Chain A
Amino acid sequence: MTDERVRRLLRRAAPPGELDAERRAWAIIRAAYDPATAARPRAWPTRPLIALAAVLALVAAALSPPGRAVGGWVRDAIGRERVAGRPDARAALASLPAPGRLLVVSRRGTWVVSEDGSKRRLGAYADASWSPRGLHVVLVRGPRLVASTPTGEIRWTLTRRPRVLAPRWSPSGFRIAYGVRGTLRVVNGDGEPDRAVAPLAVPGSWAWAPGADRHLLAYATPGGAVRLLDVDAGRARWAVRGLEQPPRKLVWSADGKRLVALADAVVYVFDARGRLLRSQPPPLGSAQFVDTEFARRGHAFAVVARHMAGRTRVVLLDAERVPAGPRLVFNGEGRLSRVSWSPDGRWLLVTWPSADQWLFLRMPRVGEVRAIADIQREFDPGGGRTGTAPRPVGWCCAP
Chain B
Amino acid sequence: MPGFGRGEAALVRGAQAGSVADLEALFREHWPRAYRAAYLVVHDAAAAEDIAQEAFLAAVRALGRFDRRRPFGPWLHRIVVNRAIDWARARQLRREVGDEPADLPDPAPARPRNPYSAGVIAALAALSPEHRAVIVLRHLLEYTPGEIARLLDLPRGTVNSRLRRGLDELAERLGPEDAT
Contact = CB atoms under 8 A, between A and B. Distances in A.
Interface string A1-38: 10101110111111111101110111011101101111
Contacts of B65: 42
Nearest to A7: B139
Nearest to A2: B177
A387 interface: no
A197 B114 contact: no
Contacts of A9: 116, 119-120, 174, 180
A236 B93 contact: no
B171 to A, nearest CB: 4
A39 interface: yes
B102 A17 contact: no
Q: Is the interface of A mostly helix, strand, loop or mixed?
A: mixed
A35 B19 contact: yes
A1 B120 contact: no
B50 A221 contact: yes
Given A21-B45, A25-B52, A199-B50, A229 B102 contact: yes
B45 A5 contact: no
A18 B35 contact: yes
Interface string B74-118: 000000000100110010011001011111111011111110110
Q: Is the interface of B mostly helix, strand, loop or mixed?
A: helix
Nearest to A33: B60
A369 interface: no
Contacts of A183: 86, 90
B18 interface: yes
Interface stretch (B1-9, B23-31, B150-158): B23-31
Contacts of B28: 22, 26
Given A10-B136, A13-B120, A236 B104 contact: yes
A195 B96 CA distance: 11
A9 B170 CA distance: 11
Given A223-B50, A239-B106, A234 B99 contact: yes
Given A29-B60, A39-B64, A234-B102, 12 more contacts: A10-B40, A10-B140, A13-B36, A18-B36, A21-B35, A22-B35, A26-B24, A28-B53, A35-B20, A200-B54, A233-B100, A234-B101
20 contacts: A1-B174, A3-B139, A5-B177, A6-B167, A9-B120, A10-B120, A12-B120, A13-B116, A16-B110, A28-B57, A29-B57, A30-B20, A32-B61, A33-B15, A38-B23, A197-B102, A225-B50, A227-B104, A239-B46, A241-B46
